[in-house]
């Protein structure tokens, strides 16, 4: 399984590359009143309107206002942009090394893996952006 490891609020996360369309620099966004929780605005990505989502809010982390990149991911029939700090690396991992998490408050976290001495949370994009959060 190939993953992209990135940083968010001084924590490490990863998403499978098959879910990622591209990574781009932060783009100016337009705020949308009464948008679902976590939606920070809309961006124009080469003529396509993409919702810009605060991954920190979805994961209930301390809000980090220093976002540098947007990770464009596929969610069902549309794309969304997840705000992240920085991309650390792209790498292949053996799925059998992922440790499952069975805690009840881990919505969207598939499991954890240790990489270069850091604990990396492997995210399940489909679950994280599910209808439970009002983002599908």
d(CA 106, CA 70): 23
Tokens of 16: 């499978």
Counting beta carbons within 10 angstroms of the beta carbon of residue 11, is it exposed (0 to 12), middle (13 to 18) or buried (19 or more)? middle
Report the half-sphere exposure of 84 (CA within 13 A, side-chain side): 24
User: How far apart are alpha carbons 67 and 18 in whole angstroms?
Assistant: 23
User: Which tens digits make up the pLDDT trace of 29-45?
Assistant: 999 999 988 899 999 99
**Token pair recorded at residue 86:** 């920085």
pLDDT tens-digit readout, 33-76: 999 888 999 999 999 899 999 998 888 888 767 789 999 998 77
Tokens standing for residue 31: 């705020």
Q: Which domains does the chain have, with CATH numbers?
A: 2-133 (2.40.50.180)
């Amino acid at each position: 399984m190939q993953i992209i490891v990135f940083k968010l609020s001084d924590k490490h996360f990863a998403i499978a590359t098959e879910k990622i369309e591209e990574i781009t620099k932060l783009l100016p966004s337009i705020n949308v009143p009464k948008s679902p929780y976590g939606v920070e605005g809309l961006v124009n990505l080469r003529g396509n309107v993409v919702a810009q989502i605060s991954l920190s809010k979805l994961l209930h982390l301390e809000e980090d206002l220093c976002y540098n990149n947007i990770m464009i991911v596929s969610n069902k029939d549309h794309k969304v942009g997840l705000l992240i700090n920085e991309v650390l690396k792209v790498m292949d991992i053996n799925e059998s090394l992922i440790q499952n998490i069975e805690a009840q408050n881990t919505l969207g976290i598939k499991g954890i893996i240790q990489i270069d001495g850091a604990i990396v949370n492997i995210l399940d994009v489909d679950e994280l952006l599910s209808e439970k959060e009002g983002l599908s």
